């Protein structure tokens, strides 16, 4: 019988740093629209078939599925495309083709560049990120902290159509580029 390494945590809540360390293969699914219960079940079933210990989460319209090995992530990514389980159109049940999913990832990459350029030019990038971190330090859950960061965006420019996306892009950028610093925002300097 294989004994798990001592640093593995199998059940319960895991801080994001542990998820990243223990489940480094991350698959992203565009999750703006709605899935049926059967579709949600098929994702959970396939993920569990691939790796019974997989982890998942949502942020800024993207569902992330975390696996221990790159091959597992590749298998899940192929499954999501083949079964047409991405949802590109907000609040829609329409299943896009693989080409439409590819086009949406490209559009989102361009949008991310525009948003980061806006945040830098307005000198709001760090204020948005720090608002999120402050709210998390006060005990807010991710969505509430994200909403507070979006309020900074909305206050700065009321003409923007989706302040949540703007805030989310800035938060994801900071988390990716400065991970250790980013998550040192929990009470008593614990790392989330």
For 1-15, the pLDDT digits (tens) are 444 444 444 556 777
Q: Are 59 and 172 in contact (CB under 8 A)?
A: yes
Cα separation values, 70 from 24, 51, 137, Å: 8, 12, 33
Alpha-carbon distance of 180 to 120, in angstroms, equals 21
Alpha-carbon distance of 94 to 166, in angstroms, equals 25
Q: Are 76 and 65 in contact (CB under 8 A)?
A: yes
Instruction: Return the structure tokens found at 10.
Output: 């199998």
Q: Is the pLDDT of residue 88 over 80?
A: yes
Name the CA dihedral angle for 7, 13, 18, 23, rounded to a multiple of 10 degrees: 90
Query: Tell me: the pLDDT tens digits for 9-53?
Result: 455 677 777 787 889 999 999 999 999 999 999 999 999 999 999
Q: What is the pLDDT of residue 186?
A: 62
For residue 25, the cross-strand partners are 67
């Amino acid at each position: 019988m294989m004994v798990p390494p001592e640093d593995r945590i199998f059940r319960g809540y895991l801080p994001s740093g542990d998820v990243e360390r223990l489940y480094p293969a991350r698959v992203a699914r565009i999750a703006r629209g709605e899935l049926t219960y059967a579709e949600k079940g098929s994702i959970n079933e396939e993920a569990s078939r691939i790796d019974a210990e997989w982890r998942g989460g949502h942020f800024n319209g993207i569902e992330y599925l975390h696996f221990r090995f790159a091959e597992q992530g590749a298998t899940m990514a192929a499954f999501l495309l083949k079964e047409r389980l991405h949802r590109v159109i907000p609040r829609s049940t329409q299943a896009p083709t693989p080409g439409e999913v590819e086009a949406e990832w490209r559009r989102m990459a361009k949008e991310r560049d525009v948003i980061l350029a806006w945040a830098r030019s307005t000198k709001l990038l760090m204020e948005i990120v720090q608002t999120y971190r402050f709210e998390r330090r006060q005990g807010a859950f991710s969505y509430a902290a994200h909403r507070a960061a979006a309020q900074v965006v909305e206050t700065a420019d009321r003409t923007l159509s989706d302040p949540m996306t703007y805030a989310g892009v800035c938060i994801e950028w900071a988390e990716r580029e400065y991970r250790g610093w980013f998550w040192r925002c929990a009470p008593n300097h614990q790392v989330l």
